[in-house]
Chain A
Amino acid sequence: MGVASDKCETRPAHIDAILNGLDRYNPETTTVFQDYIAQQCEDRTFDCYANLALLKLYQFNPHLLQPDTVTNVLSKALTVFPSPAFSLCLALLPPSTQPFPSTTEAQAASQTSDFVESVQKLARLSTLLESAQYAQFWATLNSDDLYADLTADVAGFEELVRIRIAVEVGKTFREINVDILEQWLDVRSREALQKFVADVCGWKVDGAVVRVPTNKENEARSEVKSEHVGVEMFGRVIRRGFEQPA
């Protein structure tokens, strides 16, 4: 299966046409892309390449920038971790947003607007997800109402993140302690966990552990990569055999 980051299965034809033409630079298409990201938030799809085109329009026409739309794009990018999507989005934002302030003083100095603060908050969440600190991620997310506001437009934000975490766990673990998984998925009760892993992941809870069925990623088989031998490699030898009968 091939993956190309400029394609997206759920992308409508009119968006595709804009992306492939010069209209992607036309400030008038900004509204089209804004509607498209609103739609992605609603129907839980994600089109990184199109969202980058919107951020590029903002980069060229700063007066058009809508802070809410940008934070929605960033929140959507959080739901596809681990991936470079979030950093690619940050790269197109105004440098003054300083997504990763080096010290707390620098952070205080840079937070001149709500927009900057929002970007920095989302960047913090991204760091926690990308560095697999899932328990801290949920703690941070629940620590401030602002986070809830930032992710409110993204339908099923928490569930999407929870599923991504489960997928990553499934790739690394064959068995995992229930308490740890509860923290990582931020599910409060044993019943809820049981329901989630059974319904969404197809895993089984067995006493104090959750068993993950073997998949391609978590089997970790040792193998010796042997050389590929094809008939064509011997073509010359065989031909010579015909040309010069012994």
Chain B
Amino acid sequence: MSYDDRANARPNLNDESDVEEEALVNDYREQVNFDDSMSELDRTTSLGGQSQTQDLQAQLAAAATPLEYQATLETKFASYDNYCSLFHYILNSDGPVDLEVPSVGVSLSPPHSSIERTGKVLAFPFLYKTNILSDNQYYWAWDVIDEFIYQFESFCRYRNRVARSGSNEEEAQVLRENPNTWGCYSVLNVLYSLIQRSQINEQQAAIKRGEDPMAFAGEYGSRPLYKMLGYFSIIGLLRVHCLLGDFSLALKTLDDIEMNKKAMFARVMAAHFTTYYYVGFSYMMMRRYADAIRMFSHILVYVSRTKNFQKGGNSYDAIAKKNDQMYALIAICVALHPTRLDDTIHSAVREKYGEQFYRMQRGGPDALPIFEELFRSACPKFISPTPPDFDNPASNVDPVDHHTSIFMDEIKNTLFNPTIRSYLKLYTTMDLKKLAGFLEVEPEKLRSWLLVNKQRSREIRWIDGGLLDGEPAIANDLDYALENDLIHVSETKAGRRLVDWYLRNLARVY
């Protein structure tokens, strides 16, 4: 029925995942170290490169490099053209193409020479698989897709801003004349084409069934580069759907991907991070707070364990920012769905958002601005996929405002749940009119609050299968029923846990 029950029923599972996590932390250490040797390797190969490939090399490098913050509209258009021709070359040549991907340092952290490598490799023999070149391809593939979507996102937001302010007529004119640059159909087309070419969904489904993915990979999908571009395109789709406000389709996109620490995305820190952020956020918008908390906790615990290895990296700032955003989101989710958090996460939430966390948990009208402020600071930068109305600046609304107002409507509807719960906890039976007197509200209003709290304490929770699957579960320890105006309150308490204690002591004696 509840989370605890299941965790309790399969205690070994937890242990195993700890071992996995340990391995992953070490794996990450390895990658960081390999960076050193890798860049040298690439330098030598690119020195001997022929002149024809120079152009392509420049394109490949550009595709994975962030644009400057103040890039002009012209640069943005040129970058779009660069992506188009690159993806056209990758997807529509005669058969799969061989690419010598440049070494890119965007997701990589600088090497930590202080960490001993040799001992660790012996301790984790499966790490021998880690092949230097293939790791570089992982990073390049991720950076290309990540940057591609980021530029799409920032272009759409920029276009919307130009239309809203209505001040820069020149740029508005250029944008008006090019409605298809960075169009949503082209972006989705690239992502879906990469997915289909690599037959990555078929491959992932085969892995899930325990079969050999290579049997389903086809001519393209058996090439590591195509496979990874396809794989990260799925993560890219998750992100694009989420930015467009289609949260159920976002989750549906990941149907064939396994969400665990062995997943391919876990190879690249930024990909791992991004995946959990968007999955968690989508769950939150579908009011599946328990699932959202599970996703955020998973990645935040992982990050807190690997923190020491990331410091100083180029991507560290970006990760630190997303990290704070996820703490804000988890604070919101816990306020809406009280639950026990992992100790590390709980103390971090209190450290970062102590006062706000407390006020959201208390509920009531005071909490409204806090919810809004945290939501705005932590939500993705939503976009509108079509060109705005340049002729009526006032009619263009920032998509972030749109989604915030939808979210805030639900917050307003459930604002008094914490109040109700805190009072009912104190009684086993209570007269409705008396409670209404305490709260200084009309009995009619209190009845509505009771109904709302009851409804929100039931939610769909994932058990297995696709991310959208789930079963109704009781989300709260506190339950009640009304016999006319008499409220009967009941509380589910967790009993003492003895088996673990018993087993530990048995092991000691035997």
Residue positions of A touching B, CB distance < 8 A: 1-6, 22, 25, 48-49, 52-53, 56, 59-60, 62, 82, 84, 87-88, 90-92, 94-96, 98-100, 102, 109, 112, 123, 126-127, 130-135, 168-169, 171-177, 180, 209, 217-230, 233-234, 236-237, 240, 244
Knowing A1-B471, A132-B455, the reply to whether A88 touches B482 (Cβ < 8 A) is no
Contacts of A227 in B (CB 8 A): 8, 495-499
- Nearest Cβ distance between residue A120 and chain B, in whole angstroms? 11
Contacts of B399 in A (CB 8 A): 95
Q: Chain B 388-421 against A: per-residue CB contact (8 Å), 1 yes, 0 no? A: 0100001111110111011111101100000000
A63 to B475, CA, bound (A): 43
Contact A225 B2 (CB under 8 A): yes
A176 to B188, CA, bound (A): 53
A233 to B389, CA, bound (A): 64
Q: Chain B 5-37 against A: per-residue CB contact (8 Å), 1 yes, 0 no? A: 100110100000000000000000000000000
Residue B493, interface by CB 8 Å: yes
Contacts of A127 in B (CB 8 A): 409, 412-413
Knowing A60-B386, A172-B454, the reply to whether A5 touches B286 (Cβ < 8 A) is yes
- A2 touches which one: B413, B469, B496 (CB < 8 A)? B469
Contact B454 A100 (CB under 8 A): no
Residue B139, interface by CB 8 Å: no
A137 to B482, CA, bound (A): 22
Knowing A49-B248, A92-B245, A172-B450, the reply to whether A25 touches B386 (Cβ < 8 A) is no
Q: Which of B192, B386, B481, B507 has the most CB of A within 10 A?
A: B481
Contact B506 A237 (CB under 8 A): yes
Knowing A228-B9, A240-B510, the reply to whether A171 touches B483 (Cβ < 8 A) is no
Q: Chain B 461-475 against A: per-residue CB contact (8 Å), 1 yes, 0 no? A: 001011011111000
The residue on A at minimum CB distance from B460 is A3
The residue on A at minimum CB distance from B404 is A100
Q: Which of B389, B402, B444 has the most CB of A within 10 A?
A: B402
9 contacts between A and B (CB under 8 A): A87-B407, A96-B395, A132-B455, A168-B455, A217-B458, A217-B481, A222-B492, A223-B490, A237-B506
Contacts of B498 in A (CB 8 A): 227
Residue B503, interface by CB 8 Å: yes
- Nearest Cβ distance between residue A50 and chain B, in whole angstroms? 11
Contacts of A222 in B (CB 8 A): 490-493
Contact A91 B386 (CB under 8 A): no
Contacts of A176 in B (CB 8 A): 482, 484
Residue B231, interface by CB 8 Å: no
Q: Is the interface of A mostly helix, strand, loop or mixed?
A: mixed
The residue on A at minimum CB distance from B484 is A175
Residue B86, interface by CB 8 Å: no
Contacts of B482 in A (CB 8 A): 172-176
Residue B42, interface by CB 8 Å: no
- A95 touches which one: B384, B449, B507 (CB < 8 A)? B384
Residue B249, interface by CB 8 Å: yes
A57 to B246, CA, bound (A): 11
Q: In chain B, residues 266-313, which have Cβ atoms closer than 8 Å to a Cβ of chain A?
A: 285-287
Residue B80, interface by CB 8 Å: no
Known contacts A3-B472, A91-B285, A222-B491, then 8 further A-B pairs from the complex at CB < 8 Å, ordered by chain A residue: A59-B386, A87-B285, A88-B285, A96-B396, A132-B448, A175-B483, A220-B488, A220-B489
